[in-house]
């Protein structure tokens, strides 16, 4: 093909994200390829798979087709494919699920496999439901089990240690069935600031449980070791605890496991127990899935949606993703065997909110729901047709016999699944599109740039719509830049206020209705966050959970504004301007507590004092006085106190201290204390849990560029640099 690499139309932010995360680097860490060369590299590598099926195939034609599709931003694959196609690593899949049986051998074998997947750039999902509950008998040792949550901690620590291919840290999904005896401890697990930071957690809710909630009856908890009911709890009480925890901290999410299993196309091979980290991809054990998204914003022309262009793009994208399955270098032989036997792909969308704006349709409307169903129905129909066309040439997927497609009406099917609505955080920035099926996140937002400066950006579609109108003035645009929204800005027409509502200005009910509309025509599941205002009640969250179940969703993830941190989410620029700060004076009167912590250096006594404004000082002293260790501990206490009185959030301090290791770790109450700073962090965590009504997780600010992290698509995404907490 022509390798002159015509220039791709990218925003400055998109180029920055590509340079930071996707382009090949030289020995000094500088980009060793251009974005144009990246798309050429990916297109050539994926097109070469055609030769696996026909040694005489015209790969130049396929390569040109793929290259044009990528350069025009009509379709982009998931991040591992962009990063690794045509490179040494060659691992192109984002989603994996691994099995965990009720034995030490299985648990640590899976832990090893997890590290290999994370190193290759993938995210992992597990069901811990087969592990016997805490304090259950262990026959081989005459001891007692520590339960699934303790083993989740082991996986979490391993994830923290493994850096993914030099680009991303691993992400996990931990699932526990609602009928597991340890379910209540699991529900509350993420309210502890110090544990499971590399996990999303979801309760696998059954139809039987939801029926018990509806009927207000008792619900049995089953020991997975024996299969016997060992306790009964009021179903509504348990449901309330799930809802209340999600209201408080955003977790756990809920997956409707029976609904996922009903849609499992290869029941003869295995059963669905878990999903990938963001919950949209149910997978069998040892299965992976390759994902990609069509940019719906590119499908709107002067006459509305161009369905012919959409059809063409779907067929090219299915061809592309099936080729990815073929050329992918899988991290485990078992995963390669299972993935190639089912050949699951997940074609989804991004830019849905942009498409609606171009069509003049409000996101929170019946017309938007209708468009969601119409678009996704067309994509699913064409994706299955494209898969059938490939099957006529390449053959059905290996597990076709006995599958849901083994029917005279569908004699050909190349892929067991074809559609998924996956997170598009980074790739939507590259494409200049809104994320997945989410509403726009802001009309104006602040982007951090490399030199520490910040730039205010107005949504391009708003600028395009407003330009040339009498009401549009520099003063009005300045006001929008300050607020980040147009809802309270005088002068903006009501029609545009209706059109440019942001995710936090859309009612939760409409979030769910849009999700359900896409789920109706999606083989796998839908990654989406249902946003709530900070004033939302527990009852508001409960009604959304019930609505999601009633409308046919396969899962639900919610985020109540402010529940994961006290820092205000500034989508405008008014409060983002940098300024130097000085600590407030030490108060005359404080109150606090002192906690003794065992460390490898000896007993450490940590005192945390607070006043009316919160924690204000920390003192730490070793049981034995003198020496360099004591002076360093005193210095740490002084600096922590200075930070607290300067307005630094306690959780930010905790994040810096927790996990610091010294040569002499020790154990206390079943927890490993890694060092004196780690011990101080744990005391701060205890104080936070007792003093803060709404526990703040260690998130909210991007760890790489200090931009704002937004809760979208069941994950956290930085719109400035493309950082994402999930794979």
User: Could you give the residue numbers annotated as active site?
Assistant: 276, 278, 280
Question: Is 315:331 a contact under the CB 8 Å cutoff?
Answer: no
Q: How far lies 429's CA from each of 1, 25, 720, 722, 724, in Å?
A: 28, 20, 9, 7, 12
**What secondary structure letter does DSSP report for 403?**
S
Measure the CA–CA gap between 443 and 429, rounded to whole angstroms. Answer: 15
* Residue the block writes with tokens 């082991």: 154
Measure the CA–CA gap between 707 and 720, rounded to whole angstroms. Answer: 6
Measure the CA–CA gap between 156 and 174, rounded to whole angstroms. Answer: 10
Read off the tokens for 392.
């006529």
| SS3 (DSSP) at 727 | coil
* Residue the block writes with tokens 């000082």: 617
Measure the CA–CA gap between 725 and 727, rounded to whole angstroms. Answer: 7
Measure the CA–CA gap between 713 and 727, rounded to whole angstroms. Answer: 12
Measure the CA–CA gap between 97 and 252, rounded to whole angstroms. Answer: 19
Read off the tokens for 719.
């719109």
Q: How many residues are given for the chain?
A: 727
Measure the CA–CA gap between 221 and 230, rounded to whole angstroms. Answer: 6
Read off the tokens for 665.
């770790």
Paired strand residues for 410: 407
Measure the CA–CA gap between 715 and 710, rounded to whole angstroms. Answer: 8
| SS3 (DSSP) at 45 | helix
**What secondary structure letter does DSSP report for 697?**
P
Long-range contacts of 645-650 (CB under 8 A, 24+ apart): 645/583, 645/584, 645/585, 645/586, 645/616, 645/617, 646/581, 646/582, 646/583, 646/584, 647/581, 649/565, 649/566, 649/567, 649/696, 650/614, 650/615, 650/684, 650/687, 650/688
Measure the CA–CA gap between 283 and 707, rounded to whole angstroms. Answer: 33
Burial 669-708 (b: 16+ CB within 10 A, else e): eeeebbbbbbbbbbbbbbbbeeeeeebbbbbbbbeebebb
542 contact partners, CB below 8 Å, separation of at least 6? 239, 240, 243
Q: How far lies 561's CA from each of 250, 509, 531, 569, in Å?
A: 9, 16, 7, 8
* Dihedral (CA of 142, 148, 149, 154) sign: positive
Measure the CA–CA gap between 200 and 223, rounded to whole angstroms. Answer: 24
Mapping DSSP onto H, E and C, the string for 644-696 reads HHCCCCHHHHHHHHCCCCCCCCEEECCEEECCHHHHHHHHHHHHHHHHCCCCC
103 contact partners, CB below 8 Å, separation of at least 6? none
**What secondary structure letter does DSSP report for 347?**
E
Give backbone dihedrals phi and psi of 514, rounded to 5 degrees, phi first: -65, -45
Return the C-alpha torsion angle 137, 141, 142, 143, nearest 10: -60
Give backbone dihedrals phi and psi of 392, rounded to 5 degrees, phi first: -60, -30
| SS3 (DSSP) at 31 | strand
Paired strand residues for 598: 603
- Tell me how crowded residue 448 is: count the other CB atoms within 10 A of its CB: 21
């Amino acid at each position: 093909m022509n390798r002159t690499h015509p220039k791709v139309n990218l925003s400055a932010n998109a180029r920055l994200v590509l340079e930071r995360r996707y382009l090949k680097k030289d020995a000094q860490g500088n980009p060793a390829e251009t974005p144009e060369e990246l798309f050429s590299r990916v297109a050539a590598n994926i097109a070469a798979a055609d030769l696996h099926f026909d040694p005489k195939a015209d790969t130049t034609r396929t390569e040109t087709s793929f290259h044009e599709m990528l350069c025009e931003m009509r379709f982009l694959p998931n991040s591992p494919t962009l990063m690794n196609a045509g490179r040494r690593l060659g691992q192109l899949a984002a989603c994996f699920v691994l099995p965990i049986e009720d034995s030490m051998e299985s648990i640590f074998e899976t832990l090893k496999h997890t590290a290999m997947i994370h190193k290759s750039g993938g995210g992992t999902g597990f069901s811990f439901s087969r592990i016997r509950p805490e304090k259950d008998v262990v026959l081989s040792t005459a001891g007692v089990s520590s339960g699934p949550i303790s083993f989740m901690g082991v996986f979490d620590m391993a994830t923290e240690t493994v850096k993914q291919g030099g680009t991303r840290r691993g992400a996990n999904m931990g699932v526990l069935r609602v009928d597991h005896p340890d379910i209540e401890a699991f529900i509350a697990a993420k309210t502890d600031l110090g544990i499971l930071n590399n996990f999303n957690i979801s309760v696998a809710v059954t139809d039987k449980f939801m029926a018990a909630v509806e009927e207000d009856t008792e619900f049995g908890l089953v020991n997975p070791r024996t299969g016997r009911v060992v306790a009964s709890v009021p179903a509504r009480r348990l449901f309330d605890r799930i809802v209340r925890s999600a209201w408080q901290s955003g977790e756990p999410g809920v997956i409707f496991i029976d609904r996922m299993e009903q849609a499992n196309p290869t029941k003869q091979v295995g059963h669905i127990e878990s999903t990938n980290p963001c919950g949209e991809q149910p997978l069998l054990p040892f299965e992976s899935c390759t994902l990609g998204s069509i940019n719906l914003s590119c499908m709107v022309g002067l006459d509305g949606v161009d369905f012919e262009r959409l059809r063409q793009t779907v067929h090219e994208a299915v061809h592309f993703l099936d080729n990815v399955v073929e050329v992918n270098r899988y991290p485990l032989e078992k995963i390669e065997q299972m993935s190639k036997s089912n050949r699951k792909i997940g074609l989804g969308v991004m830019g849905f909110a942009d498409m609606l704006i171009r069509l003049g349709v409000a996101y929170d409307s019946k017309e938007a729901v209708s468009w969601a169903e119409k678009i996704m129905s067309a994509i699913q129909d064409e994706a299955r047709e494209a898969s059938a066309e490939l099957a006529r040439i390449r053959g059905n997927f290996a597990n076709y016999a006995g599958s849901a497609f083994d029917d005279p009406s569908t004699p050909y099917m190349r892929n067991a699944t074809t559609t998924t609505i996956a997170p598009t955080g980074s790739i939507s920035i590259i494409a200049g599109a809104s994320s997945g099926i989410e509403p726009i996140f802001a009309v104006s937002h602040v982007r951090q740039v490399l030199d520490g400066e910040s730039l205010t950006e107005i949504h391009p579609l708003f600028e395009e719509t407003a330009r040339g109108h009498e009401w549009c003035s520099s003063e009005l645009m300045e006001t929008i830049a300050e607020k980040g929204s147009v809802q309270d800005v005088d002068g903006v027409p009501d029609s545009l206020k209706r059109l440019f509502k942001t995710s936090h200005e859309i009612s939760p009910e409409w979030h769910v209705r849009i999700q359900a509309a896409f789920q109706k025509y999606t083989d796998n599941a839908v990654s989406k966050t249902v946003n709530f205002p900070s004033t939302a009640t527990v009852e508001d969250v409960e009604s959304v959970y019930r609505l999601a179940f009633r409308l046919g969703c396969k899962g639900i993830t919610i985020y109540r504004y402010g529940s994961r941190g006290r820092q205000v989410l500034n989508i405008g620029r008014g409060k983002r301007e940098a300024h130097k700060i000085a600590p407030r004076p030490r108060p005359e009167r404080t109150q606090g507590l002192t906690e003794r912590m065992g460390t490898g250096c000896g007993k450490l006594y940590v005192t945390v004092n607070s006043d009316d404004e919160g924690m204000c000082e920390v003192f730490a002293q070793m049981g034995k006085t003198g020496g360099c260790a004591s002076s360093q501990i005193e210095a740490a206490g002084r600096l922590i106190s200075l930070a607290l009185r300067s307005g630094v959030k306690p959780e930010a301090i905790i994040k810096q201290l927790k996990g610091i290791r010294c040569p002499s770790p020790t154990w206390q109450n079943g927890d490993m204390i890694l060092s004196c700073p780690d011990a101080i962090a744990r005391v701060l965590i205890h104080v936070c849990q007792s003093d803060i009504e709404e526990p703040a997780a260690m998130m909210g600010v991007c760890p790489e560029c200090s931009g704002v992290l937004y809760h979208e698509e069941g994950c956290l995404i930085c719109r400035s640099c493309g950082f994402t907490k999930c794979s």
